[in-house]
Amino acid sequence: MPPDVEGAITTMGSVNNEFFYWMSIALMMLIHAGFLAYEVGASRSKNVLATAMKNLLAFATIIASFFFVGWFLYNAMPSGFIEMTDAAQAALPWSDNMGPNTADSASGIFWGAFALFAATTGSIMSGAVLERIRTSAFLVLTVLVGSVVWIIGAAWGWHGAGWMLTELGFHDVGAAGCVHMIAGFAALGILINLGPRLGRFKADGTPVTIRPHNLPLTMVGLMLIFTGFFGFLMGCVIYSNEGYATIYGSPTTLSAFAFNTLMGLAGGIIGAYMMSRGEPFWTISGGLAGVIGVAAGLDLYHPALAFIIALGAGGLIPYIGKLLEKFKIDDVVGAVAVHGGAGLYSVVMVGIFLAGYPNTDGNPSISLWGQFVGAVVFMALGFIPAYLVSLGMKKIGMLRIPPEVEAQGLDLAEVPATPYPEGIPVTVMRGDTGDIVAVPADDAGEVVTIPKEEVK
């Protein structure tokens, strides 16, 4: 082959590789648009702007801190400890690779994809703690998880040289563990210290439903997240002129990811619909649980098996939500159930259905024991740091907003703007007795009840 043709092919391959991850970043931005809409809809109208602002600030702070800290940790800690390898030195913020170096056109693209993974962990947590956490406390916790904790988990269990792969044969190609499990269990640790919203539970512990002010917006937000998930999964494969490989370096195809992502989405929605008896919030959330539920074995499952596993994931989350309520844990968007619970389920299902399957050369085969140990590591890595740091903040009065601020709404206290200047929307719902109840969305004013006998 003439040198000029060979050079052109090499250049084109490099451009294609960079463009692949560039589009992965662009699609992952839809995840954050989706989380913003999802959480704004799930909050009450007196908190919508504060909710949106927390999403924007979480995204910005994680991107910045991931540049200075997170990318280095991923490249320095696959063995379990910080090692100054060539890759780690290249990931230091002052290295030539972390800037406009024309000799290295790929580092920024790979860093960008991982930075969007990192920002996803913050978005997962932000929905769980809505309407009562201090912005400053939330940003400290989201940087901790988004730029330190999850990426250590990724270095251990997602990196091609991570000790969980080389010692245990751990398998999690779609980051169900290192992203979703860690963020979900971190949210659980924070929620234990944060406590429920005012009025969420009666004195005897009976849960009181605080309904989203705009459930359709929440559902649209989740559809955006589903779309963005395809970008997320693009970042979970290695693309080169030779084809596609998993993050571990084993051969794969985009067909496998397409089959199982869509079957997981469908199975999760159907499973949640059946087990929640058609409750809209859990039904749409079941789609996300279904995709996460099959993510760990996305490259190896048969689509029919992926559908069955996803049915289980979707059907499981409403029950996790009810279990949390028994402990008076107030998770506004079900993040612990959908991300923590479905992520744990995903990692364990790989151990059940793919046990004995060979991993990349020189690494142990997939095993239930390896998946179980990996799951415990991720649970601890997510829960313990978030619990301890949030407990310290609680002790010094930095974690939760004052009750009077919570009652009047964060928008009034924190945001110099009005979300609905033309009037206060009213939430209308049918009560347990069948009566129609009209509730002013800011909790002010008279609650109007129309007996069911008078409803036309």
- pLDDT one-digit tens code per residue, 398-425: 999 999 999 888 988 888 888 877 665 5
For residues 258 and 16, the model is more confident at 258
207 and 341 belong to one structural domain: yes
* Domain contains 367: yes
Burial of 440 (0-12, 13-18, 19+ CB in 10 A): middle
For residues 444 and 69, the model is more confident at 69
446 and 398 belong to one structural domain: no
275 and 318 belong to one structural domain: yes
- When mean pLDDT is compared across 116-125, 367-376, 429-438, the lowest value belongs to 429-438
Total number of domains constituting the chain: 2
Identity of the amino acid at 35: F
For 430, the domain range is 425-456
35 and 115 belong to one structural domain: yes
- Mean pLDDT value across residues 104-122: 90
335 and 446 belong to one structural domain: no
pLDDT at 106 over 60: yes
* Domain contains 441: yes
* Domain contains 9: no
336: Cα within 13 Å, side-chain hemisphere: 23
* Domain contains 410: no
For residues 86 and 448, the model is more confident at 86
Percent share of the chain, pLDDT over 70 = 89
- Mean pLDDT value across residues 195-210: 92
304: Cα within 13 Å, side-chain hemisphere: 0
Burial of 249 (0-12, 13-18, 19+ CB in 10 A): middle
* Domain contains 5: no
* Domain contains 409: no
For residue 149, the model assigns a pLDDT of: 96
* Domain contains 4: no
Residue 242's pLDDT band, with cuts at 50, 70 and 90, is confident
Buried b (16+ CB within 10 A) or exposed e, 280-300: ebbbbbbbbbbbbbbbbbbbb
pLDDT at 178 over 90: yes
How do residues 290-305 score in pLDDT, each as one tens digit?
999 999 999 999 999 9
For residue 360, the model assigns a pLDDT of: 85
For residue 431, the model assigns a pLDDT of: 46
23 and 145 belong to one structural domain: yes
- Mean pLDDT value across residues 271-285: 95
For residue 420, the model assigns a pLDDT of: 77
429 and 398 belong to one structural domain: no
302 and 436 belong to one structural domain: no
- Mean pLDDT value across residues 211-221: 92
399 and 432 belong to one structural domain: no
394 and 452 belong to one structural domain: no
Q: How far is CA 89 from CA 75, 97, 412, in A?
A: 8, 9, 47
397 and 288 belong to one structural domain: yes
For residue 415, the model assigns a pLDDT of: 84
CATH code of the domain containing 49: 1.10.3430.10
How do residues 306-353 score in pLDDT, each as one tens digit?
999 999 999 999 999 999 999 999 999 999 999 999 999 999 999 999
User: pTM for this structure?
Assistant: 0.89
pLDDT at 427 over 90: no
* Domain contains 7: no
430 and 333 belong to one structural domain: no
Mean pLDDT for the chain overall: 89
